[in-house]
Amino acid sequence: MALISLRKATEADIPQIRSLAEKIWWEHYPEIISNDQIAYMLELMYSDAALRRQMNEEGQELWLPEENGQALGFLAITPTPLGAGEGEYFLNKFYLDSRERGLGTIVFELMLARYPDLKTLRLRVNRRNYKSVNFYFKVGFRIEFCIDTPFGEGYVMDDFQMIYRV
């Protein structure tokens, strides 16, 4: 595996992030959720306006893991709200286009290095997304609780909230 780097995304990267999201979601999620739900969620979370809002108003820091300048996916991390404690973060997105063995762990470790004050990291993952759940177990997460979140058009996200502690 060549040298992997992690570059902070800017608004100029939004079209690339949107394109990666569409490719990754359509390859990965049809076995987990319906095509209608995939289309709805892509528009809800990955339109230009939604990505701009996440970056500029919601405090999500988007990152592009790259190999030789080629994006391999994207991730987003947000410091948790004030009062939650120093070093607490939420991993909003962790999507890789490649299934190359070991890549996820490398990217996860690169992300951790960008946040040296990180003490606690939480995320939510679909309970039927077995590959991702198992990956998160492998890098040290555990299930904190189950949560079902309605998010419009009759869809519900049925997730595990997982937690990682340094």
Query: For position 82, what pLDDT does the model report?
Result: 58
Identity at 65, one-letter amino acid code: P
Please state, in angstroms and rounded to a whole number, the distance separating the CA atoms of residues 136 and 90: 14
Please state, in angstroms and rounded to a whole number, the distance separating the CA atoms of residues 80 and 59: 9
Query: For position 124, what pLDDT does the model report?
Result: 97
Quick one: CATH architecture of 4-165? 3-Layer(aba) Sandwich (3.40)
Query: For position 1, what pLDDT does the model report?
Result: 55
* Domain extent listing, the chain: 4-165
Predicted TM-score of the model (pTM): 0.94
Per-residue model confidence as pLDDT tens digits over 135-156: 999 999 999 999 999 999 999 9
Q: Is the predicted pLDDT of residue 16 greater than 60, yes or no?
A: yes
Q: Is the predicted pLDDT of residue 103 greater than 90, yes or no?
A: yes
Q: Does residue 89 contact residue 60 with C-beta atoms inside 8 Å? A: no
